Structures are given as structure tokens and as C-alpha cells.
Amino acid sequence: MMSTRALTALVLAFVLSVPAQAQPQERRVPSSPAELKLSYAPIVQRVQPAVVNVYAAKIVQNRNPLLEDPIFRRFFGVPGQQPEQMQRSLGSGVMVDPSGLVVTNNHVIEGADQVKISLSDKREFEAEIVLKDSRTDLAVLRLKDVAGEKFPTLDFSNSDELLVGDVVLAIGNPFGVGQTVTHGIISALARTQVGITDYQFFIQTDAAINPGNSGGALVDVNGRLVGINTAIFSRSGGSQGIGFAIPANMVRVVVGSAKSGGKEVKRPWLGARLQAVTPEIAETLGLKLPSGALVASVTAGSPSARAGLKLSDLIVAIDGFTVDDPNAFDYRFATRPLGSTAQVDVQRGGKLVKLAIPLETAPDTGRDEIVVRSRSPFQGAKVANISPALADELRLDPSIEGVVVIDLADDAPAAGVGFQKGDIIIAVNNKKISRTSELERIASEPSRLWRITVVRGGQQINVTLGG
């Protein structure tokens, strides 16, 4: 990942698991020089067997740039078979179920045709992808042909109990040199401005994290998984003491979905759009600090609407946890168990109001996904109607009527003219588009000019393309 000031954010990460009922660890300053000579070796020996190496490979076709030149193609033709090349990536993972279930980063195995797992005892197994969740950058794999073997695993910690200054160990396979252990402390909690995944609520650590650690484990001094290391900020490409990990409580949700047989993560649906409180908004509301999550809109019939959440309510807490911004609320809400309720505190008209929001999934009916085949600027784009579930998944305003682009191949004509995943097509040739069937019909009509209105990132864009 690149920052705007050439600060490279290398996406790396780690995975482990920790028990929900575990007791908080004892915290104290060493009382004698002898205590400073204590070793982490017993913890490492217990944890290492559950941390694995992940090797992913995919076949890509070498593309000669000359073949993209229409004049070259006209005079010299196009070779029938282009050479293929195997691209490989290296990461780490954590065994979270004795049957052979492994959690790692989604970016480690994204697009892979083949995935292999190497254990600490040097044995290798092929693995299948059970679940991928790009919103958290997590994926769950299952080892093949294990013949009933039981593998060592890690317990999940309760990451809500962590404190800044707690000692942690990072275990992974940096630069492919082999399993490596580094140690440090938790430098900060609830980092919400990292910009790596949809859920911005990271643990920051100074334990050394480098390329190849992605999907590896961040553990506490009791050997419990506290997080999956996900990214570093670096000018050199190596560790500079600023690393980020996905909290164990979020990892637990993704692993739980995989264990239940799901192909995607089921999360609670709020049905409301939130915005950050700026200093100007805080002054208008009479707040001392620009903190909380301001309700910008509420979807009719959604759980939040039924619970009584209203426009301009200021969410300040959920289940006893303070909400500093919308990212903090999203994380807390997403890690609540489905089927129960979340107690949300809001400020309304200078008074504190408590609401019980039911935790249920968003309805996902009527998507009507299609791939546009007709010769048009939309050719090759996979589009869908905007269901509440899709709006929640893609972070779209559910009140917008239109058809959303959910996928398109790099070589699709639609990608060539500039369409992107998440674009909402609301009008074509001055005709309103509200269903995929309407877009398919209009796209099949020959036209010399295409006047298209798209909403991207909340901004309306009008473009005119030649036929």
C-alpha cells in the first residue's frame, strides 16, 4: 500500500486464535534484574507448531505490449497461444481448528490457482480455499488429505482486554527465510485511519513485521492469539516499528463463519449511514470534542429504523464501548453476535437515549446479476440490482436507484472505457436505469453516442462515449 507521501504500506498479516472466556493476563513491572533474564522460549515452543507457511501460485499469461497495438495486429496477426508464467506469493497462517483449518490474509491467496501449506515440521499439504473476506483481508483454508490427523491450534484471546504496553510476539515467515519470532509491545489500539480494509480498527505494534509475515500470528505472553498482523508502514520495504494487526475478535467472526459452512461472512446490518464528527459539526452540536458517529441517513424498515434511530442522532457508545468515530462503531457492531441485540447510546437534543438494535443480516433478494454481452460500453461488466446486503457489502448509499458494477475482467471493454467495481449506473441515453434488465435492453440497442450517468464515491459523473 502506498501513502501519498511515498510511505509504503506493505500489506502483511498473521492469524491465530484465543478463548473467549480466558482471564486477563497479569501485568507488572519486573521487580529484580533476575526477572529480566526470563525467556519467551516456553511460549514460542507451544505456539510455533500452530503457525504455518502459506504458498500461493497462479498462472498468468505473458502479454506482449505490441499485441495491444492495432496496426501491429493488422499486419502481423495474433499468435494463437501466448506463453504462460507462474506467479508465486508467500505468506503465513495460523491453525485455528485441529481438523486442519488455517486462517491467513486474503491478499496472500487472492487469485491463486494452487495453495500449499507447510507446517513447522516441514510437512506440506495442498489446501482448498473455504472462505475469502476482502472486507477484513482474511481468508480461511482447509488442508487436504489429512487422514483424520489432529493439528495443534492456538486459542483466541479477547482482544478488547488488551492495553497499550502489553508485550506481544509476532511469528511468521519473513522474506521466506523460515519461521521467525520477533517481540515488542502494543503501541496503540483502535487505529482507524490506516486505510487497508473496510473495518479500520487495528492493533498497532512495534514487533518487527516484514514481507512474508502476512497471515501470521500476534500472540500475548500466554500464547493466545491477539491479532493477525496485516500491514506495516515502511520507507525501505522492511520493518520500521509500525505494524498493524487485525484484532482477534474480528478474526473469530470470520473463522466462525467458515466453521459453520458459510462461503461468506454473515454480519449484522445496521441499515443507517454514519459520518464523522468534524470540529465544525462538533461546534454546531455544542460538543466539547469532535467525537462519535453522526447518523446521516436511516433506511426504512432496517433494524436501526425499527429500534428508533433517527437522522442527526449522535452515536456515542455501543454495549458499553465508547464510539470515537464511524470506523470504531462499524468494528464493534460487526463483531456482535447475530440473533441478539446491541445496546446503542445516542445523544438526541441534548439528552442521552438508549436503543436496542436487533442484530440480523441484511436481506439479499432481487440482485438479478447479469454479465452484459452486447456490444456497448458496458460489455463484460457484471452488474446487479442494489439489494440491502449488496449496498452494505460495497458501502453504497441504499437510497440510490440504479444498477451497480460488481465485477469486470481487466480485459473487458467496460474496464477499457473506465468503469470500476462499485460504480452505480443511474441513466443511459437519458433513460433512467433501476434494474439490470433495463440496462441489458438499452445496451443491446445500437447507438452512435452513449450518454451515461454514473455515481462513483458519492459523486455523480456524466460521460459521453462514441458508439
**Any idea which residues carry the catalytic annotation?**
107, 137, 214
Burial class (CB in 10 A: 0-12, 13-18, 19+), 268: buried
DSSP, collapsed to helix, strand or coil, labels residue 249 as helix
Comparing CA positions, the residue from 399, 368, 363, 400 lying closest to residue 382 is 368
Q: How far apart are CA 272 and CA 123, in angstroms?
A: 48
Distances from the Cα of 283 to the Cα of 243, 325, 408, angstroms: 34, 16, 44
CA dihedral 425, 438, 378, 198 (to 10 degrees): 40
Q: Is 212 annotated as a binding residue?
A: yes
Q: Is 213 annotated as a binding residue?
A: yes
Strands (E), 327-467: 341-348, 351-358, 370-371, 381-385, 403-408, 424-428, 431-432, 449-456, 459-466
Alpha carbon 154 to chain centroid, angstroms: 22
Residue found by looking up cell 482482544 in the block? 159
Q: How far apart are CA 342 and CA 318, in angstroms?
A: 7
Q: How far apart are CA 119 and CA 140, in angstroms?
A: 16
User: Residue 33 corresponds to which cell in the numbers above?
Assistant: 534484574
Pairing of strands 8-11, 225-234: antiparallel
Q: How far apart are CA 187 and CA 207, in angstroms?
A: 9
Q: Which amino acid is at 41?
A: A
Q: Is 327 annotated as a binding residue?
A: no
- Which residues does the annotation place in the binding site for substrate? 107, 137, 212-214
